[in-house]
Amino acid sequence: MGSLVIKNLNVSIENQQILTGVNLEIPQGEVHAIMGPNATGKSTLAYTLMGHPKYTITEGQILLDGKDIIGLSPEERSLAGIFLAFQYPVAIPGVTVANFLRTAMNAHRKAKNPEDKGIPILEFRKQLIEKMNLLEMDPAMAGRYLNDGFSGGEKKRVEILQMAMLEPRIAILDETDSGLDIDALRIVSEGINTLKNNNLGILVITHYQRMLNYLKPDMVHVMADGKILMSGGPDLALRLENEGYEWIKSSEIA
């Protein structure tokens, strides 16, 4: 199995330093959670890993199976097996969920085999219904325009549906739990757990313990001031839920 390794990652936006020496490793088959106060660089890390051009890497490496992917475009990173579930998914009027997913899947297939003619429609429909059932989604959503008029919970389910159909190796979930009610959170988390069993590595960014109750992370990392201040097991998330973050900052100063 492979892994995503982040080494001494420094990132700035318009000459303002945001990340200062982030080190992290996410092996396939494991769930790693990042928690921390607002405006500490968590989403910056997510977008940087996916190759957003707004973020400038001033130092460090992002290695997928030992290969530095910093020079790759977001599309190339996706084809290499990295997936980002957005905190705020955008709407694309005029493009149905089904057409979007089939186009994305065909792009991945063609990258692996230039002679590939695309996934047959019947096979695609079978996979789509199977994954939608997994996420307890109404099949009629496949015919709706992508995220157009969707509720927050529907948008997040479609994000996980994309992940299920594309079958990435490393998934970055940027506050996927925001906007989900209790039932939707359970359903989405169970779907993610099913995918994890297929050797998916997951980096989940969250403010709350509730999603981690379902995902059961292997490691929890605390980010503040643009760097990882502390790492530990699932118990660390429980302590953060009860005590906040000030004790970590105090221990760093001490």
Q: Is the pLDDT of residue 251 over 80?
A: no
Please, are residues 188 and 135 in contact by the beta-carbon 8 Å criterion? yes
pLDDT class of 254 with cuts at 50, 70, 90: very low
- Does the pLDDT at position 38 exceed 90? no
Q: Please write the tens of the pLDDT for every residue from 167-202.
A: 999 999 998 888 788 888 888 888 888 887 768 999
The architecture CATH gives domain 3-253: 3-Layer(aba) Sandwich (3.40)
Residue 79 pLDDT greater than 50, yes or no: yes
Contact call for residues 223 and 20 (beta carbons, < 8 A): no
The rounded distance, in Å, linking the Cα atoms of 254 and 242 is 21
State how far the Cα of 204 lies from the Cα of 55, in Å rounded to an integer: 20
Distance CA(49)–CA(6), nearest Å, equals 9
Closest by CA to 51, choosing from 111, 90, 11, is 11
Asked if 171 and 196 touch (Cβ cutoff 8 Å), the reply is no
Least confident span in 52-61, 93-102, 204-213? 204-213
Q: What one-character-per-residue DSSP string does 196-254 give?
A: HTTT-EEEEE-S-HHHHHHH--SEEEEEETTEEEEEE-HHHHHHHHHH-SHHHHHHHH-
Q: What is the pTM of this model?
A: 0.91
- The residue with greater pLDDT, 132 or 210, is 132
Distance CA 203, CA 69 (A): 17
The pLDDT value recorded for residue 191 is 83
- Average pLDDT along the chain: 91
The percent of residues above 70 in pLDDT, for the chain, comes to 96
Whose CA is closest to 156, among 89, 99, 83? 89
- State pLDDT tens for residues 91-131: 999 999 999 999 999 999 999 999 999 999 999 999 999 99
Q: Kindly state the tokens that stand for 168.
A: 């990435």
Question: How many other CB atoms are found less than 10 A from the CB of residue 250?
Answer: 9
Confidence at residue 242, expressed as pLDDT on a 0 to 100 scale: 82
Question: Phi, psi (5° rounding) for residue 44?
Answer: -60, -45
Give domain limits for the chain: 3-253
Cα 21–chain centre separation:
21
- % of the chain at pLDDT higher than 90: 68
Query: What average pLDDT does range 73-91 have in this prediction?
Result: 94
Quickly state the pLDDT bin for 249 (edges 50, 70, 90): low
Are the C-beta atoms of 224 and 249 separated by less than 8 Å?
yes
